[in-house]
Structure 1
C-alpha cells in the first residue's frame, strides 16, 4: 500500500503536514496544521483530495472574486470554502472538527504540487487493485 508523509512550510513558518494513510476501504489524505493551537486536521478520501486539487487552482484563478463552496459526500464529507479577507485562505469544513482547517494562500502552490504527486500514486494504486480483482 502506498504511504506518504510530507511537511509543507512557507517562508514565514506556516506549516501543513500532508499524510497519506492506508485504510481498509482505500487510502485517505490527512492534512494537519501542527503549529496551530489544537492541531486542526481534516481527513479526505481520494474524491475529496481531487476536489481540493481543483479548488486550489480555481481559488488562484479567482483572485479577489468570490468562489462558490464545493462539497463532497460520503465517509469524509467536506465543504471547501474560499475566504478572501483578511488574507486569502481555503477552509476545509468537516463535521466533528472544532473549527475548519485553514490553508493559507502561501501554501497553495506547494500543496497543489504535492496533490499532483499523491493523486498520480492513488490512480496507479487504484488501477493495480482493479487488475488484481477476479
Structure 2
C-alpha cells in the first residue's frame, strides 16, 4: 500500500519546494510547501488541481516571454494559477484564503516530473477510497 510520500526539490540557488502526497477521507491530496520561506507557505491540491498545475507548468515553459491566461481550479481545493514574468519568471498559486504560493522557474522542470508521480499516487488513493465506499 502506498503511504504518505514527500520529496524536496531544490534549485542551484537554494529555492526549495516540498511536494507531498497524503490520504484524506475522500482520497489523495498533493501538498506543496516552500520550506525555504518564512512561514513555510503551503498549498493543498486535489488530483484535478495538481494535473492543472502540471499542465500549466508545461504551458509556461512553452510560452517563453509571452503572457499566459490564468487557470482557475474549482472544487474542494480551489486555486488560481498565474504566470508572472517580473521580476523573474515564476508561477503564482492563490488559494481560496488568498494565500499566495510562488514557484520560481528554475524549479518548474523537476516539479513537473514530481507532480506527474504525485498525481498517480493521489489517483490511487482516490481509487482505493472509492472501493471502500461501496
CA separation in 2, counterparts of 1:21 and 1:32?
A: 13
1:56-75, aligned counterparts within 5 Å? 56-75=57-76
Per the alignment, residue 19 of structure 1 pairs with: 20
Q: TM-score normalised to the size of structure 1? A: 0.90
Cα pair distance change 1:124/1:20, threshold 3 Å: closer
Kindly state the Cα deviation for residue 21 of structure 1 after the two structures are TM-superposed: 1.2
Per the alignment, residue 119 of structure 1 pairs with: 119
Q: TM-score normalised to the size of structure 2? A: 0.90
Question: 5+ unaligned residues in a row in structure 2: which ranges?
Answer: none
CA separation in 2, counterparts of 1:29 and 1:124?
A: 12
Question: 5+ unaligned residues in a row in structure 1: which ranges?
Answer: none
CA separation in 2, counterparts of 1:108 and 1:25?
A: 28
* 2:44 match: secondary structure: strand
Question: Is 2:6 aligned against 1:10?
Answer: no
Alignment deviations for residues 30-76 of structure 1 (CA, whole Å, 9 cap, x no partner):
10101111111100001000000100000000010000000111110
Contact 1:72-1:79 at 8 Å conserved across structures: yes
The higher-RCO structure (CA 8 Å, 6+ apart) is: 2
Per residue, is there more strand in 1 or in 2? 2
Contact 1:2-1:121 at 8 Å conserved across structures: no
Alignment root-mean-square deviation, CA: 1.7
